[in-house]
């Protein structure tokens, strides 16, 4: 439910309307309301996942107002969401007032649902050109139709037209910012979101979008702060709770993150996203059995069609391997590869097989799988980095060091993405070669701050990545750099 709908459903006007209806139903008294009022109540029930109550309200609306547009549009959308586009067309074409805007938007929705986005665009543009009034609102609503079906690029096209022709339209900035977030263009979205909050500092949706954008760009402290703003407005806001937990996870506070994920699951036990995130969190805490149980629970929602559950299968294989069920893990990898379908980059699955084999002492098989991954990969540097990390995770530190040195020799750092330098510092540290570790740790925070913090944060808690070298130096030589005896 978006913030605008939520505000309306909480408004005194709607609460009075809903109260009148429910009071009459409870007393089995006759109800008379306008078609749009009854449709609003049905929309509310749908938002509350009370489908049968919604259907009863719409049946009443049809009985009281035969041929009225709003109940018919509601029924057509119900068919649309069930995938019955033919029935949705039948209902739409039977509506007497074909010039009603809601009917036009309904027709566009059906076209979009059928995968005919270009036709929907042409249709709406044709209707818009014939309008005499509220042309700006029609453009805004057209963008909203495409947003409802996750057609972000098409929606942004409509927003661009609205921005050019009606620069003073009040809702454009908010919609554009939301679309930029949906498209992953976070750096563009964040200044817009901050500007919107200057004017409306109590918008939970905007704070949530800002928090998620900051998290996506690895600004976890800032994202945590933004999520806390939402929770100050509404203490049980699930979206903000998930963001807060995810930030804490990335800030090496996995136990606190797990506690929040559990609170979210008490509110919504079937949220697959939270089940997955909590499983990842438990895995980081080395509670693999509990994590696997959550993944299996999440997978149960998909039945036999696992094409949208590949990420869960990959996590399941990882956990099975950690529990040393190697054969089961390899079977799960094959299932994930099959579910992903044809035309996928096979290197990812070769890598995963190699990691499982290595972790379970099957070194020869791992070497073959890593070789297959490297040959199949279109991003050799990233794949070689992943191979080095796999050796490190399995505590083959000498091999991990050799792979990372190979990355340094053949693929100089570009300044973007992961660097081998923090990993070399860490693997030398684990191999008890502290002087070599220091050599790389001195450069680590500058080359790849996030990896440095992830690798050394638990070794040097309470200090910043820039200070890790100083404390490591003290551990080796008994004093901080520059404090020579």
- In this structure, what token pair is assigned to residue 53? 């109550």
> How many C-beta atoms surround the C-beta of residue 269 within 10 A?
10
Residue 478: what pLDDT? 85
Residue 458: what pLDDT? 86
pLDDT > 90? residue 343? no
pLDDT band at 67 (very low <50, low <70, confident <90, very high): confident
Residue 304: what pLDDT? 85
Instruction: Read off the pLDDT of residues 12-49 as tens digits, 9 standing for 90 and up.
Output: 999 999 999 999 999 999 889 999 999 999 999 999 98
Q: Do 116 and 85 meet the contact criterion of CB atoms below 8 Å apart?
A: no
CA distance 170 to 188: 19
Residue 335: what pLDDT? 93
Residue 415: what pLDDT? 59
pLDDT band at 345 (very low <50, low <70, confident <90, very high): low
The pLDDT of 136-161, averaged and rounded, is 96
Looking at per-residue confidence, does 49 or 414 come out higher? 49
Q: Find the length of the chain.
A: 485
pLDDT > 60? residue 485? no
Closest to 404 (Cα-Cα) out of 380, 418, 385, 390: 385
Residue 42: what pLDDT? 95
Residue 466: what pLDDT? 93
Distances (CA, A) of 463 to 229, 247, 443, 470: 26, 18, 16, 10
pLDDT > 80? residue 401? yes
Residue 441: what pLDDT? 95
pLDDT > 90? residue 5? no
Q: What's the chain's average pLDDT?
A: 93
Closest to 318 (Cα-Cα) out of 343, 294, 302: 294
pLDDT > 60? residue 144? yes
pLDDT > 70? residue 413? no
User: pLDDT exceeding 90 applies to what percent of the chain?
Assistant: 84
CA distance 327 to 56: 53
CA distance 421 to 368: 26
CA distance 347 to 353: 10
Lowest mean pLDDT among 81-90, 200-209, 321-330, 340-349: 340-349
Number of H helices, E strands in the chain: 28, 0
- Cα dihedral 220, 226, 227, 231 sign: positive
CA distance 365 to 216: 36
Residue 303: what pLDDT? 85
Domain ranges of the chain: 413-485
- 388-397: Cβ within 8 A, 24+ apart: 388/420, 388/423, 389/423, 390/351, 390/354, 390/355, 390/358, 390/366, 391/358, 392/423, 392/426, 392/427, 392/430, 393/355, 393/359, 394/355, 394/358, 394/359, 395/430, 396/358, 397/427, 397/428, 397/430, 397/431
DSSP state letter for 73? H
Alpha helices per DSSP H over 286-433: 288-299, 310-322, 326-340, 347-359, 363-376, 380-393, 397-410, 420-430
Residue 41: what pLDDT? 95
pLDDT > 80? residue 342? no
CA distance 27 to 7: 28
The pLDDT of 90-94, averaged and rounded, is 95
The pLDDT of 345-373, averaged and rounded, is 92
CA gyration radius, the chain: 28
pLDDT > 90? residue 61? yes
The pLDDT of 374-382, averaged and rounded, is 89
Residue 480: what pLDDT? 87
pLDDT band at 400 (very low <50, low <70, confident <90, very high): very high
Instruction: Read off the pLDDT of residues 249-260 as tens digits, 9 standing for 90 and up.
Output: 998 899 999 999
pLDDT > 80? residue 132? yes
Residue 344: what pLDDT? 59
pLDDT band at 182 (very low <50, low <70, confident <90, very high): very high
Residue 462: what pLDDT? 87
Q: Do 351 and 367 meet the contact criterion of CB atoms below 8 Å apart?
A: no
């Amino acid at each position: 439910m978006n913030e605008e709908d939520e505000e309306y459903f909480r408004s005194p006007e709607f609460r009075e309307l809903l109260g009148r209806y429910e009071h009459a139903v409870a007393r089995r008294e006759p109800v008379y309301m306008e078609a749009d009022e009854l449709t609003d109540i049905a929309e509310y029930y749908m938002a509350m996942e009370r489908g049968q109550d919604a259907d009863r309200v719409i049946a009443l609306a049809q009985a009281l107002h035969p041929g009225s547009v709003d109940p018919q549009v509601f029924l057509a959308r119900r068919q649309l969401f069930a995938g019955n586009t033919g029935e949705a067309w039948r209902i739409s074409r039977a509506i007497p007032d074909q010039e009603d805007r809601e009917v036009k938007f309904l027709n566009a929705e059906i076209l979009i649902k059928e995968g005919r986005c270009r036709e929907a665009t042409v249709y709406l543009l044709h209707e818009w050109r014939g309008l005499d009034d509220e042309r700006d609102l029609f453009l805004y609503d057209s963008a909203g139709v495409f947003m409802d079906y996750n057609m972000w690029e098409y929606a942004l096209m409509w927003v661009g037209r609205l921005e050019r022709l009606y620069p003073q339209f009040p809702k454009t900035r908010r919609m554009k910012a939301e679309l930029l977030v949906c498209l992953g263009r976070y750096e563009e979205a964040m200044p817009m979101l901050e500007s919107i909050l200057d004017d409306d500092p109590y918008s939970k949706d905007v704070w949530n979008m800002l928090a998620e954008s900051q998290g996506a760009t690895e600004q976890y402290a800032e994202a945590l702060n933004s999520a806390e703003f939402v929770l100050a407005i509404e203490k049980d806001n699930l979206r903000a709770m998930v963001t807060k937990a995810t930030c804490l996870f990335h800030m090496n506070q996995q136990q606190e993150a797990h506690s929040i994920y559990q609170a979210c699951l008490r509110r919504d036990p079937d949220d697959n996203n939270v089940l997955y995130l909590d499983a990842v969190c438990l895995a980081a805490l080395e509670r693999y059995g509990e994590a696997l149980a959550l993944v299996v629970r999440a997978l149960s929602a998909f039945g036999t069609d696992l094409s949208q559950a590949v990420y869960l299968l990959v996590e399941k294989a990882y956990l099975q391997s950690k529990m040393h069920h190697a054969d089961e893990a390899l079977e799960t990898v094959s299932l994930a590869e099959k579910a992903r379908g044809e035309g996928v980059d096979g290197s990812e699955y070769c890598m995963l097989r190699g990691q499982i084999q290595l972790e379970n002492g099957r070194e020869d098989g791992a070497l073959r799988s890593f070789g297959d991954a490297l040959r199949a990969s279109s991003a050799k540097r990233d794949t070689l980095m992943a191979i080095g990390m796999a050796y490190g995770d399995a505590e083959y530190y000498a091999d991990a060091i050799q792979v990372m040195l190979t990355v340094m020799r053949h693929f100089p750092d570009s300044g973007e993405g992961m660097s081998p330098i923090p990993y070399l510092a860490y693997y030398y540290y684990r191999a008890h070669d502290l002087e070599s570790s220091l050599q790389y740790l001195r450069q680590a925070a500058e080359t790849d701050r996030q990896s440095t913090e992830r690798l050394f944060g638990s070794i040097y808690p309470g200090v910043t990545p820039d200070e890790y070298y100083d404390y490591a130096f003290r551990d080796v030589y008994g004093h901080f750099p520059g404090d020579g005896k």
